[in-house]
Chain A
Amino acid sequence: MNSHALHQTLPILLIEDEPSVTAFLRAALERKGYSVVQANSGADGLHQLKERTFGGVISDIRMPGAVNGAEIHAWIQSNRPALRSRIILISGDTANSETQALLANSGTPCIEKPFRMQQLISMVEKIFGKP
């Protein structure tokens, strides 16, 4: 089994503090056949990342608590080389200069809230591949 196939069978880690957004994302992804593990905060997401293996990570950038999307991104870059190019960031506020810097420097794909379901699916299929 090649790595691509392996990843496609692995679940996607969804890190998002907003329950309604999480619910929509989960519903949309699962409807398309992806398996989803959700984390309700950055810290929770980091914990999950250390515990098991994921086929990709979708993370909100701005979250309350000790760990935000940028730190998740940085941890993955250092500790999970396989996931380096399998991250999709979600932003509600691209005007933030830190966010702008992160996106510009890493070239990490990002979808801005609010987005249409079709925007999400095409971005996920492009980065993670079809399930």
Chain B
Amino acid sequence: MSMRGPKSGRGTSLAVRKAKSAQARPISKQAEELIDLAVDAARSRHLPDFLKRFSERAAALAEADWGAVVVFEESGPKLYCAKELEIVRNAPKREWLVNKAQEISRDAQVCILPQEKSSTGVFVPILSSANERLGAVCLLRPPRALHAHERRLLEALASHAALALENFRRFSQLERSKRNWVEDIDAITDYIVVHDRRWRILRTNRSLATHLGVPPVALVGEAVGTLRQLAETPGSLPCPFCVDTDQSREEHVISSRDRVFLVSTSRTLGMPDDEARTIHVLKDITDRREAERRYRELFDSIQEGLFFATPDGRFLDVNDAMVRMLGYESRDELLRNDVGSYLYPAPEAREHIMHELNAKGVLRNYEETLRRKDGTLLYTLQNITGVRDASGRIAQMRGLMLDVTEQKMFQAQLQRERDFNQKILNTTQSMILVLDTAGLISYANRRCYEAGYREEEMIGRHLVDLVDSAQRKEFEAALETTAHGQQVENLEARAKRGDGSLGYFSISLSPMRDEQDAVNSVVVVMTDITDAALLQAKLAHAERMATIGRLVSGVAHEVNNPLAAILGFTDLLIENPEIPASAHESLEIILQETQRTKNIVQDLLSFARQRPVQKEAVRLGAILRQTIKLRSYDFTSHGVEVKEDFDENLPATIGDSQQLQQVFLNIVNNAYDAIQEAGRRGMITLRTKRTGDSVEVAITDNGTGISDTARIFDPFFTTKPTGKGTGLGLSICYGIVRAHGGEIQCWNNDSGEGSTFLVKLPIATEGATAAMEAAG
């Protein structure tokens, strides 16, 4: 009883009652004590003390020698008793008691002690209101049966114990919960302060006290105004965090010099003054604010458009760049208007976006055309991220948008120019090549291949290899000039054509420069002017011949008058009987030389004159055979072989067989002379064939060749010794062939020996041929 302490009044009365009950225990007394026990159970705050008292009083009530309570605690069964078990006579082991207490069922039970038959143990289960076994009351006493009233008494005792145990259990739970709550509040890093209506601090959490450097209890009772050092709301209230005390909830941001707080306030309104409380929770949002500010600054200052949008394309937020890009006045204007339908000229593209976002979550470098406020089109490049909701659907799109309109326009223009250039390159009649500075072909346009060159003989090859060897140095010099940055225009060179033959080309070389202005390639434009060059040469020749013809004609006419007089008077003198015979010889010489002069003039005239040819169908083969026959003696006696290669089906031509024979004879005579001069075994080949509307006669020899093929047909151009020829033979041939509407050409053979003359004459019409056939 000493544990109770002298102050407890109730303890004193209990001690008195206990003293009385030791003498006699009538039923009414027992009931009284039971009520006392119940009161004690309800009031006790310390479970072990209570259980000791309880066990002692229970033993007294049940007239037992010893009492205890076994409680089934979480850590295992525990025995509480006022008197140590060991001092009881014949006491059983503690383990036995505990085991028995656990074994008993729902009813009180009397057991014989294992060592001492003269004593019994009585076990009464303690059951909770939910019929859960909380423990057992154990009593040791002399062996006798339990009377009914004793059983009821014991059950009443057990139920009091149950009540007390349950209460203690709940109480300790509450205590723990309260302790946890305070710990939880203290664990919150946000500052929490509670004050009453008189602006006194009722409580702060540990974070706030720690921040101020004091224990939490130190602030209790202080004026809430002392917390101004944290931060302050502008206003006249004594609390630095209150704004409107009529509101049950408030939220606002306050800041000090270096900190920003979000203040969330709750008030218990409508309570009596001393009950009313105001709770402020101060959340330090300085870092968040800073992060937000930086984010916003970045968001607004970035030159790319940024947007947050709903899946259907409505903007939730955009930055200034985006507003500018789309041509709106302000962010609000763009966000306010439901611009979706206007903004997307191709709404079907949105489906594609959603499809992609659903599948991949992101869309990289997506090109979309949007419509600006003023109606013009904006070409954009976007990177979009889809934000999914809990169900996995795209709930929001976040994106970055680049204005690529200029690039797009530039690209389109570039494309147009490229197409244009490509068309030019592909359709031009000139060959266009690109060479690197080493002169290797890196590109050749389509025309090159159309002209018959093969890719493998162009790409990667030296262009100079195509140029005639005689002009390679000149071409390489031009290439060198171009490589030094200067353009070379209209270089005329002979080069290999697509079909392998040599042709004339007009070549222009232009340097191409890299970014550093250094020449890195050369563009070569080659135009095949072979036909033009030949035509020009022919025209020039024809013109020269015509001029010579007019000159010769004029000279011949002028010479004919004096010749006529000389010849005439000489005749007169010869017939004159007064002239002595001695003078006759001189006169004959004059006559002879005049005759010779006359012949020269006549030859000149026959070159120049456009005498109409005898219009008859002629067979060139027959004429050629007759011509050869005229010289066959000389040929065989001088070892000159004549080879005939005639097309027996050669069509007839219209002409004068006499004149044509003169032409062929002249050519054959020249061939013979050239062979004689060369001093080798001679060979003259005569070949006829048809080409288009013409027939060709080619006469090839293996003589000395021609020193100047360009001037060979000019009058008085001769390679023969003076007196051997007049230099008019081929001029006359030229005149005759031209009068036949044909052409005569000559060249030195590729073999290096001799030359070839080609006479080309038009084919006779069918009518003329038929007439000739009829004539036989």
Q: How far does the alpha carbon of A78 sit from the alpha carbon of B775 in the complex, in Å?
A: 41
Please state if A93 and B571 are interface contacts (CB–CB under 8 Å): no
| Chain A residue at minimum C-beta to C-beta distance from B562 | A20
Q: How far is the CB of B223 from the nearest CB of chain A, in Å?
A: 141
B564 A21 Cβ-Cβ under 8 A: yes
**Interface locus among A2-10, A25-33, A66-74:** A25-33
Contacting residues, chain A, for B611 (C-beta < 8 A)? 95, 100
Interface segment out of the listed A44-52, A81-89, A115-123: A115-123
Q: Give Cα distance in the complex from A96 to B568, angstroms.
A: 23
* Given A100-B612, A114-B598, A117-B575, also A92-B561 (CB < 8 A): yes
Q: Is the CB of A95 within 8 A of B567?
A: no
Q: From A90, which residue of chain B is reached at the shortest CB distance?
A: B564
* Chain A 106-120 residues near chain B, CB threshold 8 A: 112-118, 120
Q: Could you tell me which residues of chain A, from 18 to 45, have a CB within 8 Å of some CB in chain B?
A: 18, 20-21, 23-25, 27-28, 31
Evaluate contact between A20 and B605: CB separation under 8 angstroms.
no
Q: Which of A28, A92, A100, A117 contacts B557 (CB 8 A)?
A: A92
As a 0/1 sequence over residues 552 to 576 of chain B, the CB contacts with chain A under 8 angstroms (1 = contact) are: 0100111011111111110110010
The answer to whether A115 touches B608, judged by C-beta atoms less than 8 angstroms apart, is no
**In the complex, what's the smallest C-beta–C-beta distance from A17 to chain B, in angstroms?**
9
CB distance from A99 to the nearest CB of B (A): 10
Range class of the B interface residue count: 20 to 34
- Residue of B at shortest CB range from A118? B571
Residues 562 to 613 of chain B near chain A (Cβ within 8 Å)? 562-569, 571-572, 575, 594, 598, 605-606, 608-612
A116 touches B608 (CB 8 A): no
- Residues of chain A within 8 A (CB-CB) of B609 are 94-95
A105 at interface (Cβ–Cβ under 8 A)? Answer: no
Q: What residues on A are CB-neighbors of B558 within 8 Å? A: 92
Tell whether, in the assembled complex, residue A25 and residue B568 are in contact, meaning their CB atoms are under 8 Å apart: yes
Chain B residues whose CB sits within 8 angstroms of the CB of A31 once the complex forms: 572, 575
Q: How far is the CA of A27 from the CA of B564 in the complex (A)?
A: 13
Question: Across the interface, do A24 and B556 meet the contact criterion of CB distance under 8 Å?
Answer: no
Q: Kindly identify which residue among A28, A62, A92, A112 contacts B568, using a CB–CB cutoff of 8 Å.
A: A28
Is B556 a contact of A93 with CB atoms below 8 Å?
Answer: yes
Specify the chain B residue showing the minimal Cβ separation from A20.
Answer: B565
Question: Once bound together, how far apart are the Cα atoms of A28 and B572, in whole Å?
Answer: 7
With A93-B605, A114-B563: A24-B572 Cβ-Cβ less than 8 Å: yes
CB-based contact B567/A114 at 8 Å: yes
Residues of chain B within 8 A (CB-CB) of A97 are 610
Query: What is the distance, in angstroms, from A4's C-beta to the closest C-beta of chain B?
Result: 27
Residues 349-362 of B, flagged 1 when their CB comes within 8 A of A and 0 if not, give 00000000000000
Q: Is there an interface contact between B605 and A113, defined as CB atoms closer than 8 Å? A: no
Q: A93-B556, A94-B609, A95-B553 are in contact. Are A113 and B564 (CB under 8 A)?
A: yes
| A31 CA to B578 CA, complexed, in Å | 14
CB A40 to nearest CB in B, in angstroms, measures: 14
Q: Name, among A94, A113, A117, the residue most crowded by chain B CB atoms within 10 Å (CB to CB).
A: A113
A93 and B553 within 8 A (CB):
yes
Residues of A that sit less than 8 Å from B by CB: 18, 20-21, 23-25, 27-28, 31, 62, 92-97, 100, 112-118, 120
Beyond A114-B563, A117-B568, 4 additional contacts (C-beta under 8 Å) are A21-B561, A23-B565, A115-B568, A117-B575
- Give the interface of B toward A (CB within 8 A): 553, 556-558, 560-569, 571-572, 575, 594, 598, 605-606, 608-612
For the complex of A and B, list the 3 residue pairs with the smallest distance between their C-beta atoms, beginning with the closest.
Answer: A95-B609, A24-B568, A20-B565
A-B contact pairs, 30 of them (CB 8 A): A18-B564, A20-B565, A20-B569, A21-B561, A23-B565, A24-B568, A24-B569, A24-B572, A25-B568, A27-B572, A28-B572, A92-B556, A92-B558, A92-B561, A95-B605, A95-B606, A95-B609, A95-B610, A95-B611, A96-B553, A97-B610, A100-B612, A113-B563, A114-B563, A114-B566, A115-B568, A116-B571, A117-B571, A117-B572, A117-B575
